[in-house]
Structure 1
Amino acid sequence: MRRGVRKVRVVSVVAFEGDWARVHHAYGRAGDVPGQLAGLVAGDPETRRAAVSFLTGSVYHQGTRWPASARVVGPLVALVGAPKTPDRATVLHILRAVALGDARDDELPFDPVRAFADAERVRPADEAAVLRVLFEEDDPDVDGVADIADAVALRWAADAYRAARRHTAAYLDWLRDPDPAVAALAAGLVVWFPGVPGVGEALAAVAGGAGPGGPRASANLGLAHLDGPLGERELGALTRGLGSTDEAVRVTAAVALARRLPAAPPEAALTVLIDADDRNVPGVVPGWDRPLRGHVSIALRRLGL
């Protein structure tokens, strides 16, 4: 317990380091962000809810990231990693939103070089011009920055993504988290960062149970969206999943096998997918936005069925 308390105190120090008022979020200068980060660990549930609402509207605003977004990643990671943080899964939801925005799983496997290519042409002067128009000019010349505004927003998104990429070791650790919601969300997050060593084996080792779906189903979808050949442990975990009594685990294992072995998916996987499609299988797997039936439809379509 003392270790968890100490971690929360470290987060407070990290959150207040530097001059936050020098960077912006959706509503202006970000000097109010440290107080809102502290609100995430408040004892009062209403204070925590207000902090969640503020952060999801400021450093992530309807999918847009801002200069303050990349900077908030480190404190959010530390909060999720602190056992005494209340509502750790909610904090992880915020972290995912900051890191990925509104990206959908049809962008997986994700190629950050391609996705953020247009951000590379942004100069500091371009960013300054956009911020000046948004927050400083009484009569802003919006047309004057129209040709660079999208690229600048993409630059802020790229910065947030790259800040999150530095913490993939933490995401792998969270796959073993005793909170099944944290483990499930971690499985849906870590696959967005290509080249993470050991990610396939880590996803294969995620435990099942903890109610319908849970982290095992999310890990199956994570395996479905990785690139390259299936390793022995991955194949073993997915094959075992086909026999699960948990429908979400069984169906997601079939989805993963169909996506990763499109030339010769196991007959049992095809049977599970066709049955799930016939029944229009309900539900959404924790850690993923697409309904389970959508994953089934995509898997079958990729097989030409």
Structure 2
Amino acid sequence: MSSSSSPDWACLHHAYGSAEDVPGQLAALSSADPVVRGAAVSALSGNVYHQGTRWPASAHVVAPLVLLADTPTTPDRATVVHLLHAVALGDLRDDVLPFDPARAFADAERVGPSDEAAVLSVLFEDDNPDLDSVADVADAVAVRWAADAYRAAERRAPSFLTWLRDPDPAVATRAAALLAWFPEVPGLAAALAGVRFDTGPARASANLALAFLPGPPSSGELVALTAGLASTDEAVRVTATVALARRQTTALPDEALTVLVHADDDEVAGVLPGWDRSLRGHVALALRRLGL
């Protein structure tokens, strides 16, 4: 996973100090041994996504993870995308969608390199750390690291679009969920609308991502969502209706209302990979939006 543009990992910090162990953990994600891969996922999660907190090394992990997901021979690429999601977004839940990064990361603008250096010094270098000395900037520095990780992922988001067409439905499903957080990616709406209907969870995840895009649906989006109402896959039907309920500026078609009401009555169950809210929760959200 090294390259001429690789960072000096030893000079970066993660949750436990120097990030010099990160390249080996990234390389282990390509191992043919599932035990080795599992250990690497666990180690990376603890290091660069520690209980939701990102660190200076976290943003630098994004590009290698995208490269791994882009490589067809990488084993269990859906897990790589899952890890990327965690690094890019931390513990943000989809109930804050649509996402406003400027608002979410506003506190990052009030800290600079000296503040970051002071926090790192207290955490990792001082023999008798005085946490009170950085109390006024520590939270904002953590927001800075979160913002850096998000922006690193945003720069790579065009790659996520290609994963929507991946032959592994698990990769496509998680890609759609990830893309919901990056609505400014050129061509996003068309790519989501083009996800195949024979990949049920992926199509359903794409529907949910479409639900949180701004403005009314385009003609292409409308065709895809309307077609979803006739799907034999319950999750596809329900998520298509949820998207129409959120995006339509006119009255929902009767078949969409029927799907939504039946889903409410039947208490449709399940959670799509990459999403936090259950399908039942998305139905409730759509009903509230319609005043029902």
- TM-score using structure 2 length: 0.97
Q: Do the aligned residues in 2 keep the contact of 1:257 with 1:266 (CA within 8 Å)?
A: no
Post-superposition Cα deviations, 1:194-236, rounded to whole Å, max 9, x if no partner, equal 32111111100001224xx410000000110111121001000
Which residue among 175, 178, 196 is the counterpart of 1:189? 178
Aligned residue number for residue 15 of structure 2: 26
Which sits farther off after the overlay, 278-287 or 73-82?
A: 278-287
2:124 matched residue in structure 1: 135
Q: Percent identity?
A: 68
- Range 241-250 or range 257-266, more displaced: 257-266
Deviation at 1:108, TM superposition (A): 1.7
- Counterparts of 1:59 and 1:14 in 2: how far apart (Å)? 20
Distance in 2 (alpha carbons) for counterparts of 1:146 and 1:263: 50
The aligned counterpart of 1:7 is none
SS at 2:244 equivalent: helix
Give the Å deviation of 1:262.
Answer: 5.3
Q: What amino acid maps onto 1:246 in structure 2?
A: D
2:26 corresponds to 1:37: yes
Amino acid at match of 1:192: W
Q: For structure 2, list consecutive stretches of 5 or more residues without a partner in the other structure.
A: none
Number of positions where the alignment pairs a residue of Structure 1 with one of Structure 2: 292
Q: Could you tell me which residue of structure 2 aligns to residue 8 of structure 1?
A: none
- What residue is the counterpart of 1:218 in the other structure? 205
Q: 1:175 aligns with which of 164, 169, 179?
A: 164
- 1:258–1:303 Cα contact (<8 Å) kept: yes
Q: Distance in 2 between matches of 1:276 and 1:160?
A: 37
Counterparts of 2:73 and 2:268, CA distance in 1:
37
**Deviation of the 1:14 alpha carbon:** 3.5
Aligned-partner Cα distance in 2 for 1:57–1:110: 25
Pairs within 5 Å for 1:14-163: 14=3, 17-163=6-152
The equivalent of 1:294 in structure 2 is: 281
Q: Is the Cα–Cα contact under 8 Å of residues 228 and 236 in structure 2 kept in the other structure?
A: yes
Q: Residues 82 and 15 from structure 1, CA distance in 2 versus in 1: closer, same or farther, beyond 3 angstroms?
A: farther
* Runs of 4+ residues deviating >4 angstroms: none
Partner of 1:3: none
Partners of 1:71 and 1:15 lie apart in 2 by 14
Structure 1 residue 249 and structure 2 residue 212: aligned?
no
Distance change >3 Å, CA 244–CA 63, structure 1 → 2: same
1:236 corresponding residue in structure 2:
223
Q: Following TM superposition, by how much is the alpha carbon of 1:43 offset from its aligned partner in structure 2, in angstroms?
A: 1.8
In structure 1, what is the Cα distance between the partners aligned to 2:80 and 2:149? 16
Matches of 1:63 and 1:152, distance apart in 2: 14
**Which residue number in structure 1 is paired with residue 188 of structure 2?**
199
Q: State how far apart, in whole Å, the 2-side matches of 1:68 and 1:286 are.
A: 26
Q: Which runs of no fewer than 5 residues in structure 1 stay unpaired?
A: 1-11
Q: Is the 8 A contact 2:216 2:249 kept in 1?
A: no
The worse-fitting range, judged by mean Cα deviation, of 131-140 and 232-241 is 131-140
Cα distance change of structure 1 residues 271 and 261 upon mapping to structure 2, 3 Å threshold: same
